[in-house]
A and B are shown apart, each in its own frame.
Chain A
Amino acid sequence: MTETTDAMLSQPGGANVLPGPPGESMLVEVRGEGELSTQDMTLNIGPQHPATHGVLRIVIDLDGERIARATPVIGYMHRGFEKLAEARDYRQIIALVNRHDWLSSFCNEMGVVLAVERMMELEVPERADWIRVLMCEWTRILNHLMFVGSFGLELGAITPVFFAFREREDIQHLMESATGGRLHFTYNRVGGLKEDLPRGFLAASEQMVRNVRMRAQEYRDLLQGNEIFIARTRDVGVLDPQTAVSYGVTGPPLHATGVGEDSRVTEPYSKYGSINVPVPVGTNGDSYDRFMILVDRIDASLDIIEQVLGSIPSGPVNVKLPKVVKAPEGAIYVRTENPLGQGGYYLVSDGRKNPWRLKMRTPSFNNIAMVPHLLEGALLSDMIAVLGSVFFVVGDVDR
């Protein structure tokens, strides 16, 4: 051990544990004096680890198999989105913001485009608004399917992930026929959409809704009643509503605690005010509820899509924009309900074609903040169930 550690250990009352660089042998904390002292083990989960969704590092102090303290270390995936946005004009920013929460790309684009449109007081054609809602909901289903699959995978159920990805492939093929991309759609433009849907898209959408509904039942069959799954997730990582709200947690983890706060309902944007948005809410706030909320939300999104499919009017999908899109001077904050939670964009413009400041409020950042609270006192194997049920994307955390 190093000299600093020896110096720390010689202090009365024990030493503080610092996370050490990977590869160094264990740093220990000696609690108590004399014969009753025990040693905690510091375990580094990540940044490369199959269970963390991406490059997240969690430093865990273990007492046997129980977690005494957990500290997430973020920033490994910081790409400087907000700074990059200051050097790009509004159409280029749409292509960029696809990528911080890469599983909900269309919803990210919506936020930016809504901010610019509200600042410019631009009227979006009806058809474009309805198609935007349709695309948002398909993206939401894509996102939730991913987490349904990966949560089972982390617990050891290796089959639901393949079923979930099969559905994802089908939906991505559908989105590719309209937008050209499977993951990063870049379909929104300021004032509407890039181009209209191809023929057959709405009929294929209807067919896909039926398929996914049938398959959502399969996920319930595989996991909902499964006693082993219930034993692994029931009463694991229980979150109470007050703590959730105080941390700023939004999205499925918040709904699982019983608080049904959803921006599509409280602050409707686009066409969400004209349709019925079901918001499934859980009871316990444990991992099981968080997971079941995801499957329920897939069904809810399918309901929304059915409502939209019957309501798309004909007409144009974009407006004639000036050669260079300039937002007028001022600032605006836009809240949208991204699949992972509430996303916000704070856009400050000084009248030029680049924003002066684009601050992103990303849902995963706050969702991760509650991980230390959830992990205190949990077993190491429960850590996996808890982490998997918090639903974050590291790109969203670090931007």
Chain B
Amino acid sequence: MMPAVPKIGLLKGLALTLKTMMTPSTTAQYPHVKPDLPPRTRGVIALMEENCTVCMLCARECPDWCIYIDSRKETVPAPGGGGRMRTRNTLDRFAIDFALCMYCGICVDVCPFDALFWSPEFEYSTYSIRELTHEREQLRRWMDTVPPPPPLETGAETPGEIETGLEKAHKEAEAQMAALLAAQQPAAGDEAAGGGGAATTAVEEEPHVEAQVDQEVYDQLTADGVAERVARAKAKAAYVRRERARIKAERAAQG
């Protein structure tokens, strides 16, 4: 039965809706405003081709079998000349059918070579379902949108790879510290410290060189069939190494 006079219950409801009307609303006007997505968001899967060794674990573990991989075996001469020919897996086709994908992340988990990553990119809808099968070029492009992983909560164990890296960095820092202390010895001990001089020069500062692409190395690598990004990175590394060696030689000649 409906009472004749509205009691407090009805009025409380009215007061709440009026109060909500007065406060600014929480709507974010997409597409004018992009959503603020956390780094682990499972938007799309990106492929780092350079890391993929075509082990096919991802295709095997996928619950929907939505990863299509084609590969062939190539033989390349052994690095460093001599010896038998090495066989290498080459990736012909790597496609993920996002119409089937259920975004479970098992492929990303299972890849032993860190070739698959999650990216928060979600605006890739198409007009035809066939276009939802993305090939490796698009998957490689999506790597540019992959954010770095967030730091873990206090109390969490550090992951294995980071632990080994940290240990190595610790060791290097200790070695530097020891060398610096040795260099602080008074100048009178110079002769005696000659034996330690070799140690000091070993930790002399690396000259800073602006990275540029060494065109010869780059051309040679591209002719070998290496991917463009990798070739560029290697060419830059080669350039920097050469320049540093040159500068060090100059310093040694001067000093």
Contacts and interface: CB of A to CB of B under 8 A. Distances in A.
Interface of A: 88, 91-92, 94-96, 127, 159, 163, 166, 173, 176-181, 184, 186, 194-202, 218, 221-228, 230-231, 312-317
B37 interface: yes
Contacts of B16: 218, 221-222
B109 A194 contact: yes
A96 B63 contact: yes
Given A180-B41, A221-B16, A196 B102 contact: no
Contacts of B154: 199, 202, 314
A198 B151 contact: yes
B2 A231 contact: yes
A315 B155 CA distance: 6
B157 interface: yes
Contact of B105 (A163, A186, A317): A186
Nearest to A162: B20
Given A92-B63, A166-B26, A159 B155 contact: no
20 contacts: A88-B63, A91-B106, A92-B104, A95-B104, A163-B20, A176-B37, A180-B41, A186-B104, A186-B105, A196-B156, A198-B38, A198-B151, A199-B152, A222-B17, A225-B7, A225-B9, A226-B13, A313-B155, A314-B156, A314-B157
Contacts, number: 109
Given A180-B42, A198-B153, A200-B153, 17 more contacts: A173-B38, A177-B150, A178-B40, A179-B40, A180-B105, A181-B103, A196-B153, A218-B16, A221-B12, A221-B15, A222-B12, A222-B13, A225-B8, A226-B12, A230-B9, A313-B155, A314-B157
Contact of B17 (A159, A227, A230): A159
Given A95-B104, A180-B105, A186-B105, A316 B40 contact: no
B152 to A, nearest CB: 5
B10 A227 contact: yes
Instruction: Give the residue among B6, B12, B15 with the most A Cβ atoms within 10 A.
Output: B12
Contacts of B2: 227-228, 231
Contacts of B15: 221
Contact of B61 (A91, A196, A226, A316): A91
A227 B40 contact: no
Interface residues on B, range: 35 or more
B153 A197 contact: yes
A140 to B, nearest CB: 22
Contacts of A127: 155-156
Contacts of B9: 224-227, 230
Contacts of B152: 195-199
Contacts of A181: 42, 103
A92 B38 contact: no
B192 interface: no
Contact of B151 (A195, A199, A228): A199
Instruction: Give the residue among B10, B26, B38, B118 with the most A Cβ atoms within 10 A.
Output: B38
Contacts of B187: none
Nearest to A315: B157
A351 to B, nearest CB: 20
A173 B120 CA distance: 13
B1 interface: yes
Contacts of A95: 63, 102, 104, 106
B6 A92 contact: no
B229 to A, nearest CB: 27
B186 interface: no
A178 B118 CA distance: 13
Contacts of A173: 38
Interface of B: 1-3, 6-10, 12-13, 15-17, 20, 26, 37-42, 61, 63, 102-106, 109, 118, 150-157
Contacts of A91: 61, 106
B216 to A, nearest CB: 44
Nearest to B110: A91
B156 A197 contact: yes
Nearest to A219: B16
B12 to A, nearest CB: 5
Nearest to A186: B104
A289 B218 CA distance: 74
B140 to A, nearest CB: 21
- 6 smallest beta-carbon distances between A and B, as pairs: A225-B9, A314-B155, A95-B104, A177-B38, A196-B156, A92-B63
B160 to A, nearest CB: 11
Contacts of A230: 9
A231 B1 contact: yes
A228 B10 CA distance: 8
Contacts of A94: 104
B41 A316 contact: no
B110 to A, nearest CB: 8
B153 A176 contact: no
A92 B61 contact: yes
Contacts of A222: 12-13, 16-17
B155 to A, nearest CB: 3
A195 B156 CA distance: 9
A95 B101 CA distance: 11
